[in-house]
């Protein structure tokens, strides 16, 4: 086998392995895949990315090809004379100043178009506010009188104009399948538009380093049909239901409303539940319809009894850096609170 | 005659510690810079390996969030301020005076002061590890996360004070080299005949002079906020965290070019030597470097496209950013054209130089992608940017620094590095580098943000993260090969002789290692690549006149001085005092004043250096 055939075989093997790898990945779920755009804003970005990407690929192949060719062609051979001492070639150098300039112009024109298109506030949009906290998201629907956390429900097909702000440090709002990032700047109010063209759950997470538990500040967007969204919003606007007397949930509600725990802390000091007198704290998430959420703790933990049990035993033990301290609850208290919280549909 | 001046670098080091502590010889200071920053390079590499171990699997709990945040902060800060930048400075120190035919830099004691301040700053930054409170707000230290409210404890105090010391060191070095390059060129060396490495150094030193002041301003604001309760970055009091981002990136984007231009200069020396051809379009390469330097001050906000500056600002910064691709592209094509028609000898320095061209091209092209703000909104703060910056700073700068190491090693130490180990080092680095960093492009596009200590298992990132970890360890292995090479050849390496590569520039015209006074007789320069002209003549075969044999004229050598290390040590005492007691600040401050006083008046007592009579 000659060296050349060997090299060719090698190439085929490498290419095959890459293909296998890629096809293996195709089966893996990739819920934050920027290529898999699920709305017009993300599509606009991809429509710009792909032409730029292919220009880059062509330039890359040409440059590396030229390099490899030069290396093979001009390798030193025994007895070769000292090469001609060429100092340059003005015409060539001007050529490869102009060609990249033209290529970049080709990138710049659509870039500017897309910048302005993304900045426009779309008509007929739903307004929501997302507020960053270390390390969770508060979500408000001012026109619908709804406050929730970490999970943003939106109607499919309607642009959503998100106002983002921060109560502490800089965070960044990012749902890769719906739109690019928008930083949350303390002291400033920023905006971005997201829109989903299909029903589904779209994951995201904070994209600006915001301290200790940055990795656990996640969020998700649930895109629903307009009818489902309206039903959801109508339910969310209602105050919490009071559980029937004598149930574990009722005991849990009593604990929530009246319990005093380690260092005299009370649930109501930090959390709001509409319909419970005195429960108007704003340091932690609004829990009015907590049972309706699929996750908690900065959308990092599935909303299951097990996870809640772990959380109530020791919040910072489950989620590093959680502000809620270990309240020293007994197992019975925890079970009652779980029953109450899960009932807050 | 004093013995210190005839003392050669690399010989009898062990029992001559004092001569190293007080040296003002640019070659020895270069060796000190190189050794120190290589140790920091290994340390920062170790930090990255720990991070990669943590990220190898999802939901890993090996390293907690606090340690992880400290690791990425220290990895970035160390690599930039204590490894890549001073590794360039090592070559600048060693090579620039030799390349321009000078006996030393303009201010040899100031040069020593730069080094000792750099060492002190590096130690101060890393003291945090010893106390378990390393900096943890990222190398970019975005306000207002850096305020006392959100970052209590001394973590960031180390960072603020250390970086200011490093800034002083860099600015002193920049002044020194600007003056050296402009004033101390050998007779006949016109500006455009200066080796392109020297040109890139000159541009870089101007960037240092202009870029560090905004950083210093930001650092002083931050220091006042933290130590004295001012509110520059506090939104509640009308301050603005965004101010920090502007000040920081006005520094930090030019800083990127401070990190890449000297390596580009190294490549511009290595490629002509091994192609046996002059650099193609050298004036164009120089203009391109100057253009990059100018443009680097007009692009800072491309780090801030997600901040919400508005579409007009985003468009403007986007287009200026794209402009930088033009001079950069010219450079890459001119390097390739230097190889074209040459007689290419494949040696370790050239391998690394070619690695630079290949990998840096890729980093440049991914850079063009996020020069487009809408595309950047998906890529910024994701692993795509981590991939990009490593293709530029590792695939670019670090490859070129290794090219420079293999290239100038024989000149510095008088012995060749082992060629076979050098090639193994290269291939292992190239493969490890691509296995580590290529998957990060994919991770970023699959939505993985930067600076997360953990990630969920169901996001499709597991395989790519595992690959990146494997690649990082391959890079680690490649560094072991390099170290083995150094250890092996220190004892048994082939003696290099003055001109092992058939070099083109003046440093190859003298012995390896060079005598303390570099040139027994200052050379006269007749064109670009003076030494090549002397050996081979120009294309018509004309040679410059043979240099007149060295006349036995005495040479003034600057005497050694212990004041630079005293100034740096006193300043370090004062800085550490900020973290301990006010009394120590006072003592350190007093010592600093006294040692600066001693430093300033030293030559009043001893106006001339010792004379040396070259033996040949």
B377 lies within 8 A of chain A by CB: yes
Q: Which domain holds residue B130?
A: 5-612
Q: B 515-544 residues with CB below 8 A of A?
A: 528, 536, 538-539
From the number of C-beta atoms within 10 Å of its C-beta (0-12, 13-18, 19+), residue A98 rates as exposed
Evaluate whether A30 touches B459 at the Cβ level (below 8 Å).
yes
Calpha distance B169→B178 (Å, rounded): 14
Token reading at B197: 């490495």
Q: Which candidate from B241, B276, B277 shows the least CB-CB separation from A186?
A: B241
Q: Is the pLDDT of residue A202 over 90?
A: yes
Whether B308 and A114 lie within 8 Å, measured CB to CB: no
Q: Which candidate from B144, B284, B344 shows the least CB-CB separation from A169?
A: B144
Calpha distance B174→B170 (Å, rounded): 6
Q: Averaged over B325-334, what is the pLDDT? A: 95
Query: Alpha carbon of A78 to those of A183, B62, B273, B343, B436: distances in Å?
Result: 61, 56, 17, 10, 38
Compute the nearest-CA separation of B327 from chain A (Å): 7
ipTM reported for the complex, 2 dp: 0.92
Q: Which candidate from A115, A185, A206 shows the least CB-CB separation from B308?
A: A185
Whether A207 and B343 lie within 8 Å, measured CB to CB: no
Whether A170 and B241 lie within 8 Å, measured CB to CB: yes
Which pLDDT value is given to residue A9?
61
Where on the phi/psi map is residue B497: left (φ > 0), alpha (ψ -120 to 50), or beta?
left
Mutual orientation of helices A331-342 and A305-313 as an angle, nearest 10°?
130
Nearest Cα neighbor of A295 from B382, B456, B444 is B456
Q: Which pLDDT band, with edges at 50, 70 and 90, does A318 fall under?
A: very high
Calpha distance A325→A263 (Å, rounded): 10
Calpha distance B402→B417 (Å, rounded): 12
Whether A179 and B377 lie within 8 Å, measured CB to CB: yes
Q: Which candidate from B145, B314, B334 shows the least CB-CB separation from A93?
A: B334
* Chain B residues touching A214 at Cβ < 8 A: 65, 69, 451-453
Q: Which candidate from A115, A208, A210 shows the least CB-CB separation from B311?
A: A115
Catalytic positions of B, written as ranges: 75, 104, 139, 169-170, 253, 255, 257, 268, 302-303, 328, 331, 450
Which pLDDT value is given to residue A133?
97
Question: Which of A26-40, B169-183, B254-268, B573-587 is predicted with the least confidence, judged by mean pLDDT?
Answer: A26-40
Nearest Cα neighbor of B219 from B152, B141, B149 is B141
Nearest Cα neighbor of B113 from B175, B163, B181, B158 is B175
Determine the straight-line distance between the first and last CA of chain A, rounded to whole angstroms: 71
Whether B343 and A83 lie within 8 Å, measured CB to CB: yes
Q: Which candidate from B137, B308, B339 shows the least CB-CB separation from A71?
A: B339
Q: Averaged over B437-450, what is the pLDDT? A: 96
Q: pTM of this prediction?
A: 0.93
Token reading at B588: 């350190």
B452 lies within 8 A of chain A by CB: yes
pLDDT above 90 covers what percent of chain B? 87
How would you classify the pairing of strands A295-296 and A190-194? unpaired
Q: What is the phi/psi pair of residue B36, to 5°?
A: -60, -45
Best-predicted range by mean pLDDT (A20-24, A118-122, B134-138): B134-138
Q: Is the pLDDT of residue B551 over 80?
A: no
Q: Give the mean pLDDT of chain B.
A: 92
The residue length of chain B stands at 616
Which pLDDT value is given to residue A29?
82
Q: What is the phi/psi pair of residue A132, to 5°?
A: -85, 135
Which pLDDT value is given to residue B543?
85
User: Mind listing the pLDDT tens digit for each residue in A220-239?
Assistant: 999 999 999 999 999 999 99
Query: Alpha carbon of B204 to those of B174, B217, B268, B398, B432: distances in Å?
Result: 8, 20, 15, 17, 30
Nearest Cα neighbor of B385 from B364, B399, B366, B398 is B366
Domains of chain A: 126-236 (2.60.40.420), 248-342 (2.60.40.420)
Q: Is the peptide bond before B100 cis (omega within 30 degrees of 0)?
A: no
Query: Alpha carbon of B180 to those of B29, B185, B404: distances in Å?
Result: 15, 8, 21
How much is the CA Rg of chain B, to the nearest whole Å? 24
Whether B377 and A118 lie within 8 Å, measured CB to CB: yes
- Chain position carrying tokens 């050694």: B560
Whether B306 and A172 lie within 8 Å, measured CB to CB: yes
Query: Looking at chain A, which residue has its C-alpha nearest residue B341?
Result: A74
Side-by-side strand order, sheet with A160-166: A146-149, A136-141, A126-133, A160-166, A190-194
Evaluate whether B95 touches B408 at the Cβ level (below 8 Å).
yes
Token reading at B44: 């920062």
Evaluate whether B71 touches B47 at the Cβ level (below 8 Å).
yes
User: Mind listing the pLDDT tens digit for each residue in A289-317?
Assistant: 999 999 999 999 999 999 999 999 999 99
Q: Which pLDDT band, with edges at 50, 70 and 90, does A18 fall under?
A: low
Query: Looking at chain A, which residue has its C-alpha nearest residue B135?
Result: A211
Q: How many domains, in total, are found in chain B?
A: 1
Nearest Cα neighbor of B382 from A132, A174, A283 is A174
Calpha distance A232→A118 (Å, rounded): 28
B69 lies within 8 A of chain A by CB: yes
Evaluate whether B84 touches B165 at the Cβ level (below 8 Å).
no
Number of CB atoms found within 10 A of residue B54's CB: 21
User: Mind listing the pLDDT tens digit for each residue in B282-329?
Assistant: 999 999 999 999 999 999 999 999 999 999 999 999 999 999 999 999
* Chain B residues touching A21 at Cβ < 8 A: 463
pLDDT above 70 covers what percent of chain A? 92
User: Mind listing the pLDDT tens digit for each residue in B83-121?
Assistant: 999 999 999 999 999 999 999 999 999 999 999 999 999
Compute the nearest-CA separation of A97 from chain B (Å): 6
* Chain A residues touching B311 at Cβ < 8 A: 115-116, 118-119
User: Mind listing the pLDDT tens digit for each residue in B341-375?
Assistant: 999 999 999 999 999 999 999 999 999 999 999 99
Looking at residue B270, which CATH number applies to its domain? 1.20.210.10
Q: What is the phi/psi pair of residue B130, to 5°?
A: -65, -35
Which pLDDT value is given to residue B552?
65
Evaluate whether A191 touches A164 at the Cβ level (below 8 Å).
yes
Nearest Cα neighbor of A207 from A178, A237, A172 is A172
Evaluate whether B346 touches A75 at the Cβ level (below 8 Å).
yes
Per the DSSP assignment, residues forming a β-bridge with B415 are: B495
Q: What is the phi/psi pair of residue A182, to 5°?
A: -140, 120
Token reading at B192: 């455009």
Whether A183 and B308 lie within 8 Å, measured CB to CB: yes
Angle at B449 between CA B447 and CA B451, to 5 degrees: 160
Handedness of CA B52, B55, B60, B61 (dihedral sign): positive
Evaluate whether B108 touches B126 at the Cβ level (below 8 Å).
no
Q: Is the pLDDT of residue A28 over 70?
A: no
Helix, strand, coil fractions of chain A, as percent rounded to 5: 45, 20, 40
Query: Looking at chain B, which residue has its C-alpha nearest residue A28?
Result: B460
Return the SS3 of B417: coil
Which pLDDT value is given to residue A338?
97
């Amino acid at each position: 086998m000659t060296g050349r055939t060997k090299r060719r075989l090698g190439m085929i093997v490498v290419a095959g392995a890459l293909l296998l790898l890629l096809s293996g990945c195709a089966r893996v779920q990739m819920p934050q895949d920027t290529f898999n755009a699920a709305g017009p804003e993300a599509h606009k970005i991809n429509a710009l990315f792909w032409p730029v990407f292919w220009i880059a690929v062509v330039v890359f192949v040409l440059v590396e090809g030229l390099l490899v060719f030069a290396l093979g062609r001009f390798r030193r051979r025994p007895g070769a004379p000292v090469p001609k001492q060429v100092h340059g070639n003005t015409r060539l150098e001007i050529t490869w100043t102009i060609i990249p300039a033209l290529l970049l112009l080709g990138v710049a024109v659509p870039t500017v178009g897309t910048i302005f298109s993304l900045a426009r506030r779309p008509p007929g949009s739903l307004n929501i506010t997302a507020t960053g906290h270390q390390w969770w998201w508060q979500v408000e629907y001012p026109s619908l009188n709804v406050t929730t956390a970490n999970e943003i429900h939106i109607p499919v097909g309607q642009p959503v104009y998100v106002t983002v702000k921060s109560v502490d440090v800089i965070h960044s709002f990012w749902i890769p399948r719906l739109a690019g990032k928008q930083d949350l700047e303390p002291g400033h109010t920023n905006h971005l538009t997201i829109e989903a063209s299909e029903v589904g759950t779209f994951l995201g997470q904070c994209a600006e380093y915001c301290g200790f538990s940055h990795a656990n500040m996640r969020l998700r967007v649930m895109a629903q049909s307009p009818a489902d969204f309206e039903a959801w919003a109508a339910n969310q606007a209602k105050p919490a239901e009071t559980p029937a007397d004598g149930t574990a949930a009722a005991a849990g509600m009593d604990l929530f409303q009246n319990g005093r725990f380690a260092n005299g802390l009370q649930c109501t000091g930090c959390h709001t539940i509409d319909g419970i007198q005195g429960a108007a704290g704003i340091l932690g998430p609004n829990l009015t319809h907590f049972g309706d959420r699929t996750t908690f703790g900065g959308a990092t933990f599935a909303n299951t009894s097990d996870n809640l049990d772990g959380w109530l035993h020791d919040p910072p033990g489950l989620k590093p850096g959680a502000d809620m301290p270990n309240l020293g609850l007994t197992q019975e208290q925890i079970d009652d609170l779980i029953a109450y919280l899960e009932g807050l549909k | 005659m004093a013995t210190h001046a005839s003392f050669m670098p690399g010989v009898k080091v062990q029992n001559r510690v004092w001569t190293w502590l007080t040296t003002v010889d640019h070659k020895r200071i270069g060796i000190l810079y190189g050794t120190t920053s290589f140790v920091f390079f290994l340390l920062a590499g170790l930090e990255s390996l720990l991070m990669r171990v943590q990220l190898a699997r999802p939901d890993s709990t090996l390293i907690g969030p606090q340690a992880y945040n400290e690791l990425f902060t220290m990895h970035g800060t160390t690599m930039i301020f204590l490894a890549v930048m001073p590794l360039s400075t090592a070559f600048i120190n060693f090579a620039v005076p030799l390349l321009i035919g000078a006996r030393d830099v303009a201010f040899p004691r100031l040069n020593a002061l730069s080094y000792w301040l750099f060492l002190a700053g590096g130690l101060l930054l890393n003291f945090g590890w010893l106390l378990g409170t390393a900096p943890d707000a990222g190398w970019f230290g975005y306000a207002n996360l850096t305020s006392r409210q959100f970052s209590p404890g001394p973590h960031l105090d180390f960072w603020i004070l250390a970086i200011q010391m490093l800034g002083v060191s860099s600015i002193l070095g920049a002044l020194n080299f600007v003056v050296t390059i402009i004033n101390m060129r050998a007779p006949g060396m016109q500006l455009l005949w200066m080796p392109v490495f020297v040109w890139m150094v000159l541009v870089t030193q101007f960037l240092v002079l202009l870029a560090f002041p905004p950083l210093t301003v930001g650092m002083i604001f931050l220091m006042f906020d933290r130590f004295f309760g001012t509110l520059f970055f506090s939104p509640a009091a009308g301050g603005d965290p965004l101010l920090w981002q502007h000040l920081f990136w006005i520094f930090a984007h030019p800083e990127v070019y401070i990190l890449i231009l000297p390596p580009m200069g190294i490549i511009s020396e290595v490629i002509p030597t091994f192609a046996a051809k002059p650099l193609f379009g050298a004036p164009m390469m120089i203009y391109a470097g100057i253009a990059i330097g100018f443009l680097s001050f007009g692009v800072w906000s491309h780090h801030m496209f997600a901040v919400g500056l508005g579409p007009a600002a985003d468009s403007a910064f986007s287009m200026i950013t794209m402009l930088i691709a033009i001079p950069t592209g010219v450079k890459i094509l001119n390097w390739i054209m230097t190889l074209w028609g040459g007689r290419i000898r494949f040696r370790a320095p050239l391998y690394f130089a070619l690695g630079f061209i290949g990998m840096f091209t890729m980093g440049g092209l991914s850079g063009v992608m996020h020069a487009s703000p809408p595309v950047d909104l998906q890529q910024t703060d994701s692993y795509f940017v981590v991939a990009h910056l490593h293709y530029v700073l590792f695939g670019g700068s670090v490859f070129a620094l290794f090219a420079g190491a293999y290239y100038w090693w024989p000149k510095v130490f008088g012995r060749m590095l082992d060629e076979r180990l050098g090639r193994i080092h290269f291939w292992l680095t190239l493969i490890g580098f691509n296995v580590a960093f290529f998957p990060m492009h994919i991770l970023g596009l699959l939505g993985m943000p930067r600076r997360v200590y953990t990630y969920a298992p169901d996001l499709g990132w597991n395989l790519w993260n595992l690959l990146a970890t494997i690649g990082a360890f391959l890079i680690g292995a490649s560094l072991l090969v390099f170290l083995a090479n150094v250890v092996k050849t220190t004892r048994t390496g082939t003696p290099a002789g003055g001109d092992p590569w058939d070099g083109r520039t003046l440093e190859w015209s003298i012995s390896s290692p060079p005598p303390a006074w570099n040139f027994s007789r200052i050379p006269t320069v007749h064109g670009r690549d003076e030494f090549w002209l002397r050996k081979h003549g120009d294309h018509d075969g004309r040679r410059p006149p043979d240099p007149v044999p060295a006349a036995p004229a005495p040479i003034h050598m600057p005497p050694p001085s212990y004041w630079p290390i005293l100034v740096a040590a006193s300043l370090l005492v004062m800085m550490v005092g900020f973290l301990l007691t006010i009394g120590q600040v006072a003592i350190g401050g007093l010592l600093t004043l006294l040692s600066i006083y001693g430093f300033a008046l030293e030559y009043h007592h001893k106006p001339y250096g010792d004379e040396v009579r070259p033996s040949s």
